[in-house]
Structure 1
Amino acid sequence: MKIFMVGIGGIAMGNLAYMLKNQGHDVSGSDQNLYPPMSDKLVEWGLSPKSGYRKENVKGSDLVIIGNAISRGNPEVEEVLNTGMEYMSMAQAIGTFFLKNKKPIVISGTHGKTTTTFLTHWILESIGLKPGLFVGGIRKDGFPGFALGEGDYFVIEGDEYDSAFFDKSSKFLHYRPYYLAMNALDFDHADIFADLNAIKTMFKRLLNLVPSRGKVFYWKGSRNLVEITKDYKHAPVESFDLGDKNSIFKYEKGILSEIRTKTKLKPSLIGSHNYRNVEVATRICLEIAPQKRKEILEAVESFPGVKRRQENLFVSERSLLVEDFAHHPVAIQETIKAHKEAYPGYKIISLFEPRSATSHRNVFQDDFAKCFKGSDVSIVTEVFQVDKVNKSLRLNVKKLVKDIAKNTKKETLYAKDPKEIPILLKKILPKFQKEKVIILAMSNGAFGGIYPELKSLIESRESV
């Protein structure tokens, strides 16, 4: 089949293009802004994308896949609509080409999807099942977020964000869940969901797709997940939580141990929120291969982790620089707490860039003010691309800084731009010269490209 992809330069679209090409299709595509590393990868994979959108690009295609970022007015989209060509979203394409006649393992939830998806795939791969994979991230060992796989299973990140301009339903509704994990459910994506109930509706629809021979796994510590599962009867349902008598693991004082054998594990993941990720991934894998318990536990411990999720960029006996994807109040709170538990006695300097479509809005104005407990110093930057957010909807960062200081009773600073952070840290770090320090940088973006400067700053502590 001749397939054209509008918006091929995005990581997920580029990965899908590679998978389709390896499935035997004739794949090409276009994008307005093509940047490394994906532009280089596409050329390496023999896909040679076209730069810019032109209606003649799509002519002769059997199918056009339209990326989530593409909207009406795009010349290629208009040509597709005017000529009646076959088209679909990226999510629909994944479901159509890779999930038919499979047993998809869909990992959903407001937090922890990427880590849990990679972990589940890692475990199943470790025990010899060779599952497929599609996830928005890169493992710390460099393994990309996709694999064609062999056999029955395909592990996929169940994104609740909408599919395309012509399909405002969540992507995960295209993923045909056989096993469904729901790890958390909080309000997010304020740019497309009016309220929490709108997100719950999508999760209820997802839940309703699980076949009677499949299974649902959910965290009962979430009131919202308890609510949407309480009357569900179409497939077996298994809940889990810290301290449950049927838990596989317990997590106390930063230590994870398997309850049955009392074996202490040292996975790369820290924090009670990552306990949930480990617990549900292990439950799914034991459901599939109960005879492989020992190998599954070994795989949990050997999991390398995911880039930009608790990724240590610099480590010494007295200094630690960590990059994390946290951008939701719950995720920020859990990330700070996890490092407080794992590194007792360390001073934590939290850096936060409100960058996501939700975090740059004032919907979480009060929640952000309460989530920095445990941080010894907090620095918050101005909203990313501040002019793109209407002032009436925008997070008031200067007010937030004052409220964090009031709630934590700790030093809290405002940075107009991420580039100001290294300047501020040059004044802050000498105060902790005799202390052990963690710099915890939290953003779902590039954080202004300041990581090399942060690394140099924290390295300089070692020579004093």
Structure 2
Amino acid sequence: MKRYHFIAIGGAVMHNLALALVEKGYQVTGSDDEIYEPSRTRLQQAGILPETYGWFPDKITSDLDGIILGMHARIDNPELVKAQELGIPVYSFPEFIYNQSQDKKRVVIAGSHGKTSITSTILHVLKDQNVDFDYLVGAQIEGFDLMVKLSDAPVIIIEGDEYLTSPLDRTPKFFHYKHDILLVSGIAWDHFNVFPDFDDYKNQFSQLMDLTPKDGELTYCEADPLVKIAGENAKISAKKTPYLAHPAVIQDGKTFLETNKGLLPIHIFGEHNLQNLQGAMNICLALGISEEQFYQSIQSFKGAAKRQELLVARGDAALYRDFAHAPSKLKATVSAVKAQFPERKLIAVQELHTYSSLNKAFLPNYADAMEAADVAVVYLDPHAVALKKLELMDEETLRSGFKRPDLKLFTDSSSLKEFLLTQDYGNTNLLLMSSGSYDNMDLEPIKAKFN
């Protein structure tokens, strides 16, 4: 029986990988200094929740087959130091995924935005068509128990993140998967804390494209000017397939794909999602799925969790939740909801939560990102700003950065909640966007306004 120990087991992907290895019959242990829901309950149900939070070098023994190291751990982590002293192999999770999938066809979905949605779309279609495959995706998807699956399947679909690999490896994760087929959806400056130079950030994607093998395939969104340039300049002999948004029409608040067999209703909407859908379709075609099969399966796809997720709706109003936090993601989501329901008022709320979004020097990138909203609201938590050792921006600074003179600012979640509860939602959509939780704001009373 293989034995692996996870350092920083509580992370979204890390705990899912741990659960996937338990499912394979491996013996798994782990440590972390904090574990939140839903990771905590899921690890507990699998019998691998650490008894005590913290780092314990005595857990690291020479009979381990390997250590899987999360980005949350520090380079001087006592368990990591002990593993290095004992000569135990240490893997980042991207390295481990590659180690487990060397004999598979590896499909990597990369891009500053859209990669979770595209990966989720592909997974939904393949499952619906009874294709045997493994996967790694960054969000929970309806119909899938885990975000990671490792089996004897001949192909694996991987969401390829450009963020740093581990404390020991300061290069992007997506390099480690050594793709056969690559999709790049978009390039827009993100992760300001580790890529302070935009040219360096863009270059990571160009390097990734150049790694496409001659018998592989590169598909890229030519609607994104930076991706188009990088794709066209990629120094590869592999097949290149550019794509644009799938043709569609909106009728009475519903999006229909235009196909050779007429209009096809789908649940997702927005120009950005139609680009993602076409990219996913290209990958599915490359894997042997026919157009007919793709169209058959896409009709039941409702999207990934927190990606334009409909929480509740009534006849003339709806509450949506989205993971959007980077400027390009924010603008695409706000624009999509407004375009889908142009006759409805749109109240858009953005929590500035990441290092980039809370950084005053990065703020100008948010210019016009909420232009399509009728009411634009920004929430930021002073405690989160302090933890990141950044300057707390005032309302005028934010108004200038977003180019919204009427921007509303909240720095207390109870005040934000009170504001949202006092709004009239007649013929109105509310869009909540964050990679956080508005300081654990209870959404149930807000959802009740839409019943």
Instruction: With the length of structure 2 as denominator, give the TM-score of the two structures.
Output: 0.92
Deviation string 1:366-410 (CA, Å, 9 cap, x unpaired) is: 23241111211111112561112344xx473512443378x456x
Aligned AA for 1:302?
S
Q: Is the 8 A contact 1:158 1:172 kept in 2?
A: yes
In structure 1, the residue matched to 2:443 is 452
Equivalent-residue separation in structure 1 for 2:413 and 2:232 (angstroms): 45
Deviation string 1:84-138 (CA, Å, 9 cap, x unpaired) is: 32212111111112x2111111110000111111111111122221211111111
Deviation string 1:300-328 (CA, Å, 9 cap, x unpaired) is: 11112111111111211122111111111
In structure 2, the residue matched to 1:92 is 95
Could you say what secondary structure the match of 2:88 adopts? coil
Q: Is the 8 A contact 1:321 1:438 kept in 2?
A: yes
| Aligned sequence identity (%) | 25
Tell me which protein shows more helix as a share of its residues.
1
Q: Is the 8 A contact 1:255 1:264 kept in 2?
A: no
Which one of the candidate residues 316, 319, 331 is aligned to 1:318? Answer: 316
In structure 1, the residue matched to 2:379 is 381
Q: Which moved more, 1:37-46 or 1:60-69?
A: 37-46
Could you say what secondary structure the match of 2:267 adopts? coil
Aligned AA for 1:422?
K
**Which structure 2 residues correspond to residues 303-314 of structure 1 after superposition, within 5 A?**
303-314=301-312
- Matching of residue 108 in structure 1 with residue 110 in structure 2: yes
Which one of the candidate residues 165, 171, 174 is aligned to 1:172? Answer: 174
Q: Which moved more, 1:113-122 or 1:191-200?
A: 191-200
After TM superposition, give the deviation of residue 229 of structure 1 in Å. Answer: 2.3
Equivalent-residue separation in structure 2 for 1:419 and 1:150 (angstroms): 49
Equivalent-residue separation in structure 2 for 1:133 and 1:300 (angstroms): 18
Aligned AA for 1:399?
E
Q: Is the 8 A contact 2:114 2:185 kept in 1?
A: yes
Q: Is the 8 A contact 1:211 1:235 kept in 2?
A: yes
In structure 1, the residue matched to 2:277 is 278
In structure 2, the residue matched to 1:245 is none
In structure 2, the residue matched to 1:413 is 408
Which one of the candidate residues 346, 359, 368 is aligned to 1:361? Answer: 359
Instruction: With the length of structure 1 as denominator, give the TM-score of the two structures.
Output: 0.89
Which one of the candidate residues 277, 298, 301 is aligned to 1:300? Answer: 298
Could you say what secondary structure the match of 2:247 adopts? strand
Q: Which moved more, 1:436-445 or 1:418-427?
A: 418-427
Equivalent-residue separation in structure 2 for 1:36 and 1:335 (angstroms): 26
After TM superposition, give the deviation of residue 273 of structure 1 in Å. Answer: 0.2
In structure 2, the residue matched to 1:402 is 399
Q: Is the 8 A contact 1:141 1:304 kept in 2?
A: no
Deviation string 1:229-283 (CA, Å, 9 cap, x unpaired) is: 22322311110124xxxxxx3134474423433x222222110000111001111
Q: Is the 8 A contact 2:379 2:411 kept in 1?
A: yes
Q: Is the 8 A contact 2:327 2:369 kept in 1?
A: yes
Equivalent-residue separation in structure 1 for 2:144 and 2:123 (angstroms): 15
**Which structure 2 residues correspond to residues 241-280 of structure 1 after superposition, within 5 A?**
241-242=244-245, 249-253=246-250, 255-261=255-261, 263-280=262-279
Query: Where in structure 2 are there 5+ consecutive unaligned residues?
Result: none
Q: Is the 8 A contact 1:158 1:171 kept in 2?
A: yes
In structure 1, the residue matched to 2:40 is 39
Q: Is the 8 A contact 1:380 1:397 kept in 2?
A: no
Sort the Cα spacing of 1:171 and 1:271 in 2 relative to 1 into closer, same or farther, 3 A: same
Equivalent-residue separation in structure 2 for 1:419 and 1:400 (angstroms): 23
Equivalent-residue separation in structure 2 for 1:116 and 1:314 (angstroms): 24
Aligned AA for 2:42?
K
Could you say what secondary structure the match of 1:448 adopts? coil
Could you say what secondary structure the match of 1:230 adopts? helix
Could you say what secondary structure the match of 2:219 adopts? strand
Equivalent-residue separation in structure 1 for 2:228 and 2:266 (angstroms): 28
Could you say what secondary structure the match of 1:352 adopts? strand
Q: Is the 8 A contact 2:381 2:439 kept in 1?
A: no
Q: Which moved more, 1:309-318 or 1:155-164?
A: 309-318
Equivalent-residue separation in structure 1 for 2:361 and 2:151 (angstroms): 41
Sort the Cα spacing of 1:36 and 1:374 in 2 relative to 1 into closer, same or farther, 3 A: closer
Aligned AA for 2:113?
H
Sort the Cα spacing of 1:180 and 1:408 in 2 relative to 1 into closer, same or farther, 3 A: same
Deviation string 1:20-74 (CA, Å, 9 cap, x unpaired) is: 2333432211111133322221232232434221111112323111111101232
Which one of the candidate residues 69, 73, 81 is aligned to 1:66? Answer: 69
Which one of the candidate residues 216, 219, 240 is aligned to 2:221? Answer: 219
Sort the Cα spacing of 1:226 and 1:363 in 2 relative to 1 into closer, same or farther, 3 A: farther
In structure 2, the residue matched to 1:12 is 13
Aligned AA for 2:266?
P
Sort the Cα spacing of 1:269 and 1:208 in 2 relative to 1 into closer, same or farther, 3 A: same
Q: Is the 8 A contact 1:360 1:383 kept in 2?
A: no
In structure 1, the residue matched to 2:288 is 289
In structure 2, the residue matched to 1:80 is 83
- Matching of residue 238 in structure 1 with residue 241 in structure 2: yes
In structure 1, the residue matched to 2:147 is 145
In structure 2, the residue matched to 1:246 is none
Equivalent-residue separation in structure 2 for 1:148 and 1:324 (angstroms): 28
Which one of the candidate residues 424, 434, 437 is aligned to 1:443? Answer: 434
Q: Is the 8 A contact 1:401 1:413 kept in 2?
A: no
Q: Is the 8 A contact 1:381 1:397 kept in 2?
A: no
Sort the Cα spacing of 1:450 and 1:277 in 2 relative to 1 into closer, same or farther, 3 A: same
Q: Is the 8 A contact 1:313 1:455 kept in 2?
A: no
Q: Is the 8 A contact 1:63 1:85 kept in 2?
A: yes
Query: Where in structure 1 are there 5+ consecutive unaligned residues?
Result: 243-248
Aligned AA for 2:242?
S
Sort the Cα spacing of 1:402 and 1:202 in 2 relative to 1 into closer, same or farther, 3 A: closer
Q: Is the 8 A contact 2:335 2:372 kept in 1?
A: yes
After TM superposition, give the deviation of residue 83 of structure 1 in Å. Answer: 3.1
How many residues align? The count is 443
Aligned AA for 2:441?
I
